Structure 1
Amino acid sequence: MKRVQLADGELNYQIDGPQGAPVLVLSNSLGTDLGMWDTQVAAFAKHFQVLRYDTRGHGQSLVTEGPYSIEQLGRDVLALLDALQIERAHFCGLSMGGLIGQWLGINAGERLKKLVVCNTAAKIGEPSVWNPRIETVLRDGAAAMVALRDASIARWFTPDYAQAHPEQAKRITDMLAATSPQGYAANCAAVRDADFRDQLGWIKVPMLVIAGTQDAVTPPSGGHFIQERVSGAQYAEFYAAHLSNVQAGEAFSQCVLAFLLADKAV
């Protein structure tokens, strides 16, 4: 694990893959850390320098006072690229990471080669969902994070997958219980306040949208909404709940690679 110094703290990151290869940035979902991409790294690192990082408020990265905004989290990504002297990169983000990807596509498209957004939407949920969660987490701290972990299995994985792969489901959901309550609440606010529905047409980089058929958090309808408003965007869907990269595994990896490697535009 390595760290980049931001203005207000350190951002934790990890790089895998051949030096000199094109860079692929992977951005985690709310309540996980860079380990959520473990399933993809071996396949992706054959072709790319895979740059994973813990979003502010998660994992081993800085936890600052909230609330956060998706713009703030997007600027963290740009600061990471600047610190590592990476002019342009591919970007793949899931859920909250997909919101960060949308912000980058809208506001910093010149830094992107291709963009993949997974299990996300231009707007995720309503304040009536997010505000009680923020209040509970800030009030109850670690106990609330454990309760969220136990409830997340049904949201993040289909029942058949969770039953067939209990160790994998536990590994991922344990990341939620280990997340800083302050950082989690601050990121909930960032997701709550993000709304890119009227700006999606500004995205001009090649884009792939991925959804999970059984995703109750960000249903396929949200992915279709993005695809229909970004010129030339492609769409793929897997049998999965919210964490399609984990549940669909190799099929997810190969889909992303086919998109990124098409036209040899890497």
Structure 2
Amino acid sequence: MLMADLGDVRLHYRIDGPEEGAPLVLANSLGTDFRLWDGLLPHLPEGLRILRYDMRGHGLSDCPEPPYSMGALVRDAERLMEQTGFRDAVFVGLSIGGMVAQGLSAKRHDLVRAAVLSNTAAKIGTRQIWEARIAEVAQGGVEAIADAVLERWFTRNFRTSEAIKPWRNMLTRTPKKGYMGCAAAIAGTDFLTPTSGLRLPLLGIAATEDGSTPPDMVRETTDLVPGSQFALIRGAGHLPFIEKPAEYGRILTDFLKGQGHI
């Protein structure tokens, strides 16, 4: 178990792969921890050096009092990459992790050489929507919103199978304050201008059954960056590599190869 002391917060993280491997960072979504990526790793090429971490307020990382700012979440990723020696990396961000990817790509060209924006956007929802969700969690915990969230995360077939159980547990065990804090960060973020200014290799990934960030939303953000690529996964929801790990792994691998990263 590895903990990074960043001064104002301690983050739980994990590194897989050889020390000399090409650096890849995976940043996950609201209401999950870094185990989210476990099923994807076997579908990625050998030899990568992969950094995963629990966002503040999630998993085994510290849970400061909410609200959090997106700037704080970007700084967390920035300081963690510096501390672990992850430079010139490809940064893959899912949902709120994709917002972190946008902010970090605009801020630290030395850390991020290419970015993958998966099931995310420059702006997700409205402040009113997020404030209503924060209020609901404040009153009833994450359990109060779990069914609605899972409906956006997964297809009907997946939700009605036994496979849904560990993901429901992961979601509902997210600390209430951590969920509220990161939800506040999303509510206050509009990266339209900084993302429009990005000039780095970028891949957007969307899924047809995503109820949180539909394909058109992901494509609009991806199209802000000249020369960007876009991939659509059919028959999956907001966390597409859970339902389609082999397809997601192939798309990501092709992008890494195309950038000469592997």
C-alpha separation in 2, matches of 1:131 and 1:263 = 39
1:54-93, Cα deviation, whole Å (9 max, x unpaired): 0011000011122111111111011101111223211101
> Counterpart amino acid of 1:23?
P
SS at match of 1:87: coil
Q: For residues 43-58 of structure 1, what are the structure 2 equivalents within 5 Å?
A: 43-44=43-44, 46-58=46-58
Is 2:211 the partner of 1:186? no
Q: 2:231 aligns with which of 229, 236, 239?
A: 236
The share of aligned pairs that are identical, in percent, is 36
- The structure-2 alpha-carbon separation of the partners of 1:146 and 1:86, relative to structure 1 and needing over 3 Å to count, comes to same
Is 2:156 the partner of 1:159? yes
Structure 2 residue runs without a partner (length 5+):
none
Is 2:176 the partner of 1:176? no
Is 2:6 the partner of 1:10? no
- Pairwise CA RMSD: 1.4
1:33-61, Cα deviation, whole Å (9 max, x unpaired): 00111111223361311111000110000
Moved more, 40-49 or 94-103: 40-49
Q: For residues 1-266 of structure 1, what are the structure 2 equivalents within 5 Å?
A: 1-44=1-44, 46-140=46-140, 144-163=141-160, 165-167=161-163, 169-239=164-234, 240-266=236-262
Contact 2:26 2:91 in 1 (8 A): yes
| Offset, 1:19 | 2.0
| Offset, 1:263 | 4.6
Contact 2:103 2:194 in 1 (8 A): no
1:174-203, Cα deviation, whole Å (9 max, x unpaired): 111111101110100001111011222221
Give the alignment's TM-score, normalised by structure 2. 0.95
C-alpha separation in 1, matches of 2:243 and 2:91 = 20
Give the 4+ runs in structure 1 shifted more than 4 A: none
**Structure with greater helix percent:** 1
1:93-144, Cα deviation, whole Å (9 max, x unpaired): 100001111111222233112110101111000122111111222233xxx2
> Counterpart amino acid of 1:208?
L
Aligned residues: 261
Contact 1:16 1:45 in 2 (8 A): no
Contact 1:24 1:90 in 2 (8 A): yes
C-alpha separation in 2, matches of 1:199 and 1:18 = 34
Contact 2:137 2:145 in 1 (8 A): no
C-alpha separation in 1, matches of 2:127 and 2:66 = 16
SS at match of 1:46: coil
C-alpha separation in 2, matches of 1:263 and 1:243 = 24
C-alpha separation in 2, matches of 1:120 and 1:134 = 19
- The structure-2 alpha-carbon separation of the partners of 1:254 and 1:2, relative to structure 1 and needing over 3 Å to count, comes to same
Moved more, 234-243 or 35-44: 35-44
SS at match of 2:58: coil
